[in-house]
Amino acid sequence: MSQLSKAVSIHPYFKINEGRVDDFKLLINDFIKSTEPEEACLYYDFSICGDIAFCREAYVDADAVLTHLGNVGAHIEASGAFSEMIKLEMHGPADQLDKLREPLAELPVEYFVQIAGVQK
């Protein structure tokens, strides 16, 4: 059996206020610009379905997640003017998720613990 990855993925969902989808799309550029220099980011992209936006993102470990959140904190705050984060999930190995629990205690995070997989 191979060693599981230490990667952590974040799954935030935003409900965009009526008539503000274009504003949210503009803010996506700021999120991406702040994330581009993060070498520990495995992938980072957005998708939209109606008035729901989703950011698909993953990082090599919990420390990289915390760095990223520091980099995009102002953009998350700005998004509150025209959207609401309606769901936030963290997926990864238990030891990595445990590193996030205290720093993210104020957020309504659901933690999904990795139990099996293949690292490629």
Distance of CA 3 to the CA centre of its chain: 24
pTM for this entry: 0.91
3-state secondary structure (DSSP) of residue 88: strand
For the chain, the maximum distance between any two Cα atoms, rounded to a whole number of angstroms, is 50
Residues 114 and 4: their CA atoms lie apart, in Å, by 9
* Paired strand residues for 12: 88
pLDDT at 2: 56
Residues 16 and 65: their CA atoms lie apart, in Å, by 24
Q: What kind of architecture, by CATH, is found in domain 8-113?
A: 2-Layer Sandwich (3.30)
| Domain definitions of the chain by residue range | 8-113
Q: What is the pLDDT of residues 4-58, one digit of tens each?
A: 789 999 999 999 999 999 999 999 999 999 999 999 999 999 999 999 999 999 9
